[in-house]
């Protein structure tokens, strides 16, 4: 695999809509980008995000998830073959094992729709509203072997209004996600 101008070869893992993938693709096509997206991988044939990968002519594959071991073995092979230096999880709905994280041995980033350490896991927006929180937000963090618990790279908050529903909050947070994911990548790599 060809490497150029010190950009990190990056794989983006998705399971669905792919709006964060889209924002990472947009960033990766800027002149000063520190990454080059060499691969998009999905565990779901129907992931809409694959359309963005195809439109941008980015190599993409689907790895069927029949069990974790076979999925991760295949994933690791593909990542190594493509000289991937950085993984960005972007709405990837499977949990990667500690074993895999150790074997990959390079940085894995994730974006999460809450102000971690609050609301790990799913249904973050409704939980924030139910608890009458004043703020929610998004977090980019390093992936370790505990769910949504790795070192925080970047976080940005947004006000929760009385009128907000889970859906409207999701929309607001998603806008923030699209801004902070590329910024977090820059923050992580600029210090390399
Ligand atoms: C985002 O809210 C992200 O924070 C979470 O899953 C959602 C994925 O959205 N991990 P998209 O597929 O990037 O549009």
One-character DSSP codes across 16-63: S--HHHHHHHHHHTSTT-SEEEEEEEES-TT-THHHHHHHTT--EEE-
The residue ranges of DSSP E strands in 43-182, in sequence order, are 60-62, 86-89, 107-112, 135-142, 152-159
pLDDT for 5 equals 65
- Whole-number Å distance, alpha carbon 165 to ligand 1 midpoint, is 18
- Whole-number Å distance, alpha carbon 66 to ligand 1 midpoint, is 23
Q: Which residue has the tokens 């998603």?
A: 174
pLDDT higher than threshold 80 for residue 4: no
Q: What is the per-residue pLDDT across 76-124, written as a single tens digit (0 to 9) for each?
A: 999 999 999 999 999 999 999 999 999 999 999 999 999 999 999 999 9
- Phi-psi region for residue 176, left (φ > 0), alpha (ψ -120 to 50) or beta? alpha
Mean pLDDT within 129-144: 98
- pLDDT over 70 for what percent of the chain? 97
- Name which of 112, 170, 179, 171 is nearest 140 in CA terms: 112
Q: What's the CA gap between 180 and 152, in Å, rounded? A: 12
Backbone angles phi, psi at 119, to 5 degrees: 60, 60
| Nearest ligand 1 atom to alpha carbon 170 | 2
Task: Look at 69 and 192; give whichever has higher pLDDT.
Answer: 69
Ligand 1 atom 6: the closest Cα is on which residue? 91
Residue pair 40/89 in contact by the 8 Å Cβ criterion: no
Sign of the C-alpha dihedral computed for residues 62, 112, 120 and 73 taken in this order = positive
pLDDT for 191 equals 73
Mean pLDDT within 132-140: 98
- Select 8-190's CATH number: 3.40.50.620, 3.40.50.170, 1.10.4160.10, 3.60.15.10: 3.40.50.170
Ligand 1 atom 7: the closest Cα is on which residue? 91
Task: For the chain, give every domain's residue range.
Answer: 8-190
Between the alpha carbon of residue 90 and those of residues 129, 140, 179, 190, the distances in Å are 23, 10, 13, 21
What proportions of the chain, in percent to the nearest 5, are helix, strand and coil? Answer: 35, 25, 40
């Amino acid at each position: 695999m060809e490497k150029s101008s010190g950009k990190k070869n990056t794989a983006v893992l998705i399971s669905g809509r792919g709006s964060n993938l889209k924002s990472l693709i947009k960033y990766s096509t800027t002149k000063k980008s520190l990454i080059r997206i060499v691969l998009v991988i999905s565990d779901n044939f129907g992931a809409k995000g694959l359309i963005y990968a195809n439109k941008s002519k980015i190599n993409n594959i689907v790895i069927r998830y029949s069990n974790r071991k076979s999925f991760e073995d295949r994933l690791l092979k593909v990542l190594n073959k493509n000289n991937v230096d950085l993984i960005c999880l972007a709405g990837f709905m499977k949990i990667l094992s500690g074993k895999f994280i150790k074997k990959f041995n390079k940085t894995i980033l994730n974006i999460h729709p809450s102000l971690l350490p609050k609301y790990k896991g799913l249904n973050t927006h409704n939980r924030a509203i139910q608890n009458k929180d004043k703020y929610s937000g998004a977090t980019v963090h390093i992936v370790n072997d505990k769910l949504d618990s790795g070192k925080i790279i970047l976080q940005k908050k947004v006000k929760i209004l009385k009128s907000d529903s889970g859906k409207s909050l999701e929309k607001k947070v998603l806008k923030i996600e699209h801004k902070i994911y590329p910024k977090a990548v820059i923050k992580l790599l600029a210090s390399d």
